[in-house]
C-alpha cells in the first residue's frame, strides 16, 4: 500500500470510529491498527503474495473463518473502502506468546480450542500427491544437505500413514506471532490463549496445525517442554492414538519447510536456520516417543 493512500484511509477510518488509530503490526497480507478496544486490519486491493486473498474478499473471508472457528463474537464488521478490505474486531486483552508468560491455564486453553476447532469436519482427505510434491520441493531446495536428503527419504516412508486422512478446519499458521496470551489483569472470562490471523484457515490435517504450533510457538519453551506441551494437547483429542503418529511426519516436514523458506526468501538467514532446525527435525523423528 502506498503511504499516501494509507494516510488517507486512516484519516477516514478515524472519522468512522471517532478515535485515533495506532499502528500495531504489519503482516505479510495486511497492516493492523488499533483503537481503544478495537483492532482494524487493512487488506490492500492487490495480493501481497501470489494466490493470497486481498481487498474486501480477504476481510470478509477472515471474518467468516473466525465465525466458523467459534470466534464470531470478536468480529465487529468487515467492509470495503476504496478497494481495500477492512476487518474490525474486538481487541483481545493480551500480547504475543512469550515463554515466561505461558501458564498451565494458557496450555489448557490451547488444548481446548484446537480440539474444538479440529472437530469441525471438512470435505476431502489429505492428498498424497500434495505431500509428494512438498517432499520433492524441499528435497530440491535442500539438495546439498545430506541430512535433509536422508530425512526426506525417511518421510517418504510415512506417506501411507498420512495420505487419506480426513480433513478438518485448521488455522494453518499458529506461529508465535499469531498466538496471544491473556494479560494478567484481564477479565477471567477471557480465554487464556487466543489465535489471530484467520485468513489462511482452510481444510487440512489437524496434525499439520499442531506441527506448526510446535515448531513456531511451543519450541520457544525449549524442546523438552515443547514436547510435553504437545503431548498434553494431543491427549485431549478423541482420536489421539491416530493423530499422534502423524506428527512424526508433520513436525520434521515443517522444519524442512522453514529451511526451504529461508533459502528461497531470506538466504542470509539460511545457515543459522539449518543449524537450529535440522538437529531439532532429526531428534523429533529419531527420538519420537509414545503418547
The pLDDT confidence band at residue 26, using thresholds 50, 70 and 90, is low
What confidence tens digit (pLDDT) does each residue in 189-247 have?
Answer: 999 999 999 999 999 999 999 999 999 999 999 999 999 999 999 999 999 999 999 99
CATH of 3-90, one of 3.90.960.10, 3.40.50.9100, 3.30.200.20, 2.40.50.140: 3.30.200.20
Q: What is the pLDDT of residue 1?
A: 45
Domain chopping of the chain, boundaries: 3-90, 95-286
Band of pLDDT at residue 282, cut at 50, 70 and 90: very high
Highest mean pLDDT among 19-23, 26-30, 165-169: 165-169
Superfamily of chain region 95-286: Aminoglycoside phosphotransferase (APH), C-terminal lobe (3.90.1200.10)
Residue with cell 538466504: 267
Whole-structure pTM value: 0.95
What distances in angstroms separate CA 54 from CA 5, 69, 204, one per listed residue? 16, 21, 22
Q: Tell me the pLDDT tens digit for each residue of 88-132.
A: 999 999 999 999 999 999 999 999 999 999 999 999 999 999 999
pLDDT tens string 46-87: 887 778 899 999 999 999 999 999 999 999 999 999 899 999
User: Predicted confidence band at 28 (pLDDT cuts at 50, 70, 90)?
Assistant: low
Amino acid at each position: 500500500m502506498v503511504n499516501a493512500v494509507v494516510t488517507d484511509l486512516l484519516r477516514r477510518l478515524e472519522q468512522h470510529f471517532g478515535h485515533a488509530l495506532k499502528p500495531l503490526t504489519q503482516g505479510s497480507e495486511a497492516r493492523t491498527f488499533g483503537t481503544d478496544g478495537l483492532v482494524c486490519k487493512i487488506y490492500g486491493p492487490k495480493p501481497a503474495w501470489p494466490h493470497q486473498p486481498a481487498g474486501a474478499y480477504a476481510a470478509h473471508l477472515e471474518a467468516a473463518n473466525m465465525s466458523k472457528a467459534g470466534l464470531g463474537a470478536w468480529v465487529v464488521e468487515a467492509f470495503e473502502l476504496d478497494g481495500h478490505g477492512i476487518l474490525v474486531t474486538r481487541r483481545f486483552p493480551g500480547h504475543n506468546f512469550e515463554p515466561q508468560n505461558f501458564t498451565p491455564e494458557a496450555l489448557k486453553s490451547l488444548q481446548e480450542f484446537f480440539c474444538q476447532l479440529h472437530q469441525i469436519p471438512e470435505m476431502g482427505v489429505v492428498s498424497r500427491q500434495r505431500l509428494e510434491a512438498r517432499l520433492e520441493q524441499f528435497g530440491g531446495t535442500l539438495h546439498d544437505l545430506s541430512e535433509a536428503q536422508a530425512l526426506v527419504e525417511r518421510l517418504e516412508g510415512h506417506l501411507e500413514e498420512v495420505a487419506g486422512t480426513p480433513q478438518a478446519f485448521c488455522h494453518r499458521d499458529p506461529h508465535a506471532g499469531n498466538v496471544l496470551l491473556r494479560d494478567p489483569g484481564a477479565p477471567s472470562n477471557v480465554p487464556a490463549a487466543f489465535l489471530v490471523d484467520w485468513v489462511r484457515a482452510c481444510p487440512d490435517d489437524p496434525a499439520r496445525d499442531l506441527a506448526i504450533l510446535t515448531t513456531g510457538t511451543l519450541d520457544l519453551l525449549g524442546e523438552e517442554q515443547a514436547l510435553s506441551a504437545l503431548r498434553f494437547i494431543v491427549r485431549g483429542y478423541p482420536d489421539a492414538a491416530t493423530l499422534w503418529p502423524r506428527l512424526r511426519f508433520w513436525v520434521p516436514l515443517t522444519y524442512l519447510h522453514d529451511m526451504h523458506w529461508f533459502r528461497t526468501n531470506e538466504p542470509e538467514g539460511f545457515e543459522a536456520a539449518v543449524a537450529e532446525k535440522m538437529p531439532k527435525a532429526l531428534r523429533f523423528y529419531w527420538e519420537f516417543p509414545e503418547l
